[in-house]
Structure 1
């Protein structure tokens, strides 16, 4: 997560809709359509060097968010397994951003 979190109201009423609309209501990884309510807005670069600039945010579906190779997302794995969102062999499906 970025060092400084935006107020919840700003995040949900302003930032999320902007990113979701920009990404045409689809997961930028797998192209599945996701509702604004269900989408995950992900920080492309997270951690200490992260920021909340629109260029550092993207829309992901729950499954792609869980399977992203980011140690900060590991807490989501157990919940996703219980819900059947990801298969038992989820480790084989982990993805990383290609650095350019």
Structure 2
């Protein structure tokens, strides 16, 4: 990863699986995964876009966040949360607006779930152990 400061923005660049990925500022891991999906399968499309851009979704999203007490159901993180379809819209479109099919996830947990759903390999266990060790040191 390289970081460059230019034009008032902090820029990150990654090379994952031979794909050069860039992002400005702070965006979720999901955005990076989506770029990989588009690069590997040019015809790949997010099936839930029409769902998540509706007014009905915004109300349902808030209900899911309230139900989950505004924390990630996997790791308990608070802050920036994403509401995820447990069964993806592409597999179960009839459950798109079903509150029981929604869960609040932090960007990290949502990215890990999406990564597995789209067929990318799970993260290296050594990397996960290192991340956990760093998190424990930072919490002291």
Report if TM-score (shorter chain) is over 0.5.
Answer: yes
Cα separation, 2, equivalents of 1:90 and 1:10: 34
Query: Which structure has more RCO (C-alpha within 8 Å, separation ≥ 6)?
Result: 1
Number of the residue aligned with 1:10: 56
Residues 11-50 of structure 1 mapped to structure 2, 5 A cutoff: 11-12=57-58, 14-34=59-79, 38-46=80-88, 47-50=90-93
CA distance in 1, matches of 2:117, 2:78: 23
Distance apart, 1:15 and its partner CA: 1.1
- Give 1:7 deviation, angstroms: 4.8
- TM norm structure 2: 0.44
Structure 2: how far apart are the matches of 1:67 and 1:91? Answer: 12
TM-score (norm 1): 0.60
Q: Which runs of 5+ in 2 are unaligned?
A: 1-46, 129-140
Larger gyration radius, structure 1 or structure 2? 2
What corresponds to 1:97 in structure 2? none
Distance 1:67 1:91, change over 3 A: farther
Query: How far off is 1:44 after superposition?
Result: 0.5
Matched, 1:56 2:56: no
What number of residue pairs does the alignment pair up?
74
Q: Pick closer, same or farther for the CA change 1:70–1:8 going to 2, 3 Å.
A: same
Distance in 2 (CA, whole Å) between partners of 1:91 and 1:70 is 17
Structure with the bigger percentage of strand: 2
Tell me the alpha carbon deviations over residues 7-65 of structure 1, each in whole angstroms, 9 at most, x when there is no partner: 522222x011100000000000001113xxx2111010112224120000000000000
